[in-house]
Amino acid sequence: MVIGAENLPSSMYTPLVVLLAAYAVLSILSGRARSNDDRAQADRWANIGFAVVLVTAVYALVLLITGIFSYPSRSSDMITIIIVIGIFFALLLFVFFVISELLPHALRRGRRER
């Protein structure tokens, strides 16, 4: 059996590409307005870009729900993968926290202040 996302029609993914292109254009326009010291216009472009991101997130949920209902036998695999990825990134964040916060403090304690 093939994973559900591969069996969904490719036209269902086209809006994601269009929304990505729209966000890229809006980000460029926002940066250009900011470089011209037009704060109001830059904020407008940035707000529209944020709205595009929200629409993209909603559409991604639609694709997720479509995949779940189209291929219910793969739902348990999907949940397992999401949990494993979540645990991996939680551990990765913990390691980065140790490296950036605790390790420098531990190295400084060994030195004597002059």
- For each of the chain's 114 residues, which pLDDT tens digit applies? 444 556 667 788 889 999 999 999 999 999 999 999 999 999 999 999 999 999 999 999 988 888 778 777 777 787 888 899 999 999 999 999 988 888 787 777 656 555
One domain for residues 40 and 25: yes
One domain for residues 27 and 81: no
One domain for residues 2 and 35: yes
pLDDT of residue 81: 87
Give the Cα separation of 35 and 20 in Å (integer): 23
Closest CA to 63 of 1, 10, 108, 2: 10
Domain count, the chain: 2
- Structure tokens given for 69: 């209902």
Give the Cα separation of 83 and 74 in Å (integer): 14
Cβ–Cβ under 8 Å, residues 4 and 77: no
| pTM of model > 0.95 | no
Q: Quote the domain boundaries for residue 102.
A: 73-114
One domain for residues 26 and 58: yes
